[in-house]
Structure formats: C-alpha cells, structure tokens
Amino acid sequence: MALKDKRQIGKNKSFFQSVGHALEGIRKLVVEERNFRFDLIITAVVLCVGIVLNLNIYDWLWLCAAFFSVIGSEVLNSIVENVVDLIVGHHFDLMAKRAKDIAAGGVLLSAFFAVIIGALIFIPRIMNLLNK
C-alpha cells in the first residue's frame, strides 16, 4: 500500500537525515517559541559582555552550563506543552495545566540558576572596573 504523502513514519535512514530533523526542530523553536528567542538574545548579550570583560576559561564553563541549562529546560518545556496540547486539544484539563505549570517552573528554576551564575561572575568584575 503506497503512502498518500511523503511524510516519514519510520526510522531515519541516515545520520544526516537525523541531523536535518534536529535542525528543523531548532528552527521551529526559534520561529515559534517567543521565550526561546528571548533566551537566545540574553545569551548573546551575556556572551558579548563576557568577551569584553575577557573572562577566563572557568567563567566560560559556568556560563555555558547556565546557558544550556536554560535553553535545555526551555526545549523540554516546549515539548511538554506540545505533547499536552496534542493529547487534550482545546479542552481545559487540570492535569494538563499542572504538567505545563511544572515544566514552566523548571525553566524558571534554571533561569534563577543562570542569574546567580551571572551575578557571581559579572558583579565582581564590574565593581572592579568601577573602582579603578
């Protein structure tokens, strides 16, 4: 029986096909998820400030941990929201709300982690610059 369309329903046939699907997922995050774009903008600003302040390798490692914590939790939050919407459709469900709220809480926790890391790295350097 032939497929009516060309949509893939089986496993990827190659590594490059898998990478293509992953890149499409990232594109959808950037295009469709406002908070993901906001996270990327904040990351870019922090990267620029870090370059200007000439951070050391350990500071960069902590910043990367913070960046990927926030971005990773934002991705997981988007997955939860999409799966919940797929299951419940346009109907209110208390358990669906709970799942979405918990996923959003995870993003908020990782954002707090990132703010603490950023403060520990940048505040002493900025204060040092101001005292010169």
Asked if 32 is an active-site residue, the reply is no
Chain position carrying tokens 């934002």: 74
Asked whether the beta carbons of 38 and 65 are under 8 A apart, the reply is: no
11 is in an annotated binding site: no
> Phi/psi class of residue 54: alpha, beta or left (left: φ > 0; alpha: ψ in -120 to 50)?
left
For the record, the structure tokens of 27 come out as: 């594109």
- Active-site choice (39, 66, 74, 84): 74
33 is in an annotated binding site: yes
For the record, the structure tokens of 83 come out as: 């799966």
Q: Could you give the residue ranges of the DSSP H alpha helices within 33-93? A: 34-52, 57-88
24 is in an annotated binding site: no
Catalytic residue ranges? 74
Annotated binding site: 33, 74, 81, 100-101
Annotated binding site for ATP: 33, 81, 100-101
Annotated binding site for a divalent metal cation: 33, 81
Annotated binding site for substrate: 74
